[in-house]
Structure 1
């Protein structure tokens, strides 16, 4: 791993700038954010080999900054309930998707996000066993289902009734938009221009860090990074984004019903 980063110093610097940008924008640290944008532009001009990677990160951070500003504007202008605020926040992820999509169109680059039919029978080789992707995911869903079920049964029935519709809307919007962004456009674009290792590492850590913007701690964001790694594993082994969206939806629904979101 160290050999990889030594050999690809510019890519490492780009990744660190991207992570720093996510943190700085999440905490509204504008001076540091502008410095990150400037550094990305310098690398864009000095390193033709990694120019489009720098543009991906620059566009993502610019769209993320617009996402933050729009959310703040809505909070200041309108008296939204907690549920409305969260749904608006997740819906505005479309700004990041739009920014990345426009970038690819402008540079005549194909936009790809693993939208093909899942390869359920692909074999996953484990240390002492091999299994199909379908059975691996089924086991993961059962384990997570048991964990969330133990938390959900502690909630009042009236609470569960009151959050079902919100939970469905939140889980659909969040799972689709986050997967299209991270395991879709960004993962596929980075993998084409760098390596699978780099693409998975950057998208997994970035996915976790972006949760800082909605109030999660650094330790919780680290856990989300591991979740991002799991989603990337699902996408790469099924060659499809749809199983990851389904898995993500179920996890989000479990979080809502167990009281982690509201």
Structure 2
């Protein structure tokens, strides 16, 4: 393994550790590691130095987000509106990371393009694209129908629109961060396989911010891998955004997601 690769793997693992410490409020070791990373910037090669700055800007943006959220909690607004505002604050780490990448004169790859649809879908066996998408639509329709029948949630137009708006905003901004920016950056310093694995672990730690069970962590890890695979196969985050949105709606209907609506 080349030295550049070793540095890339180390930085990616360090990012996962920092995600864990930050989301679990272990702030003392978190800030010491950030300080050490800052002092080591001069010894890193350019691609790795860029990712180190991406790490710093990611957490810098998230710290601003946390403080702004505390400020918003002191303002008298409807609980649902407060949730939406908090989701929109994720624009801050996106902008901070994009600013860093631009300072290195690098192209920002958000995968915000029309999906490139292969003629055949390569699974353990080859499936025709038309049959695959038809089957997927039928399965999604069946799942939603069963959930609608068995759930205790009394769905109406207001509830559905409120849920859909939240799910779409959350899915869009998080997919831009995790699959649009971080996945592409980690691919550059490791490879596709490890990038999918590492971003999925970090995504699961970050999403289970409030200390869900290990089973929920595994669920987010698996879905993170699925979203990453979809993004790489189609060269676009749009299918992952759709899948993420549907997942959040299912979580709400299943009681895994609570919203003040």
Tell me the distance in 2 between the aligned counterparts of 1:138 and 1:252: 22
Which one of 89, 92, 95 corresponds to residue 92 of structure 1? 89
Q: What residue number does 2:64 align with? A: 66
Q: Aligned pair in 2 of structure 1 residues 36, 94: CA closer, same or farther (>3 Å)? A: same
CA deviations on 1:61-117 (whole Å, 9 max, x unpaired) are 222222222222322x12454423322222111111111111112222111112222
Is 1:186 equivalent to 2:182 in the alignment? Answer: yes
1:122–1:238 CA contact under 8 A, matched in 2? no
Q: Please, which moves more after superposition, 157-166 or 134-143?
A: 134-143
Two-structure CA RMSD over aligned residues (Å): 2.8
CA deviations on 1:185-228 (whole Å, 9 max, x unpaired) are 12222223432123222221121111122553443133112111
Q: Aligned pair in 2 of structure 1 residues 252, 114: CA closer, same or farther (>3 Å)? A: same
The structure showing larger relative contact order (alpha-carbon pairs under 8 Å, at least 6 residues apart) is 2
Q: What residue number does 1:18 align with? A: 15
Tell me the distance in 2 between the aligned counterparts of 1:52 and 1:204: 21
TM-score w.r.t. structure 1 length?
0.84
Q: Aligned pair in 2 of structure 1 residues 130, 13: CA closer, same or farther (>3 Å)? A: same
TM-score w.r.t. structure 2 length?
0.85
Is 1:219 equivalent to 2:247 in the alignment? Answer: no
Q: What residue number does 2:154 align with? A: 158
SS of the aligned residue for 1:124 comes to strand
SS of the aligned residue for 1:225 comes to helix
CA deviations on 1:104-137 (whole Å, 9 max, x unpaired) are 122221111122221222433333x112566546
Q: What residue number does 2:127 align with? A: 131
SS of the aligned residue for 2:7 comes to helix
Tell me the distance in 2 between the aligned counterparts of 1:6 and 1:225: 29
Q: Aligned pair in 2 of structure 1 residues 139, 164: CA closer, same or farther (>3 Å)? A: same
Q: Aligned pair in 2 of structure 1 residues 5, 57: CA closer, same or farther (>3 Å)? A: farther
Q: Aligned pair in 2 of structure 1 residues 147, 186: CA closer, same or farther (>3 Å)? A: same
Unaligned runs of 5+ in 2: none
Q: Aligned pair in 2 of structure 1 residues 90, 130: CA closer, same or farther (>3 Å)? A: same
Q: What residue number does 1:208 align with? A: 204
Q: Aligned pair in 2 of structure 1 residues 260, 55: CA closer, same or farther (>3 Å)? A: same
Tell me the distance in 2 between the aligned counterparts of 1:180 and 1:213: 19
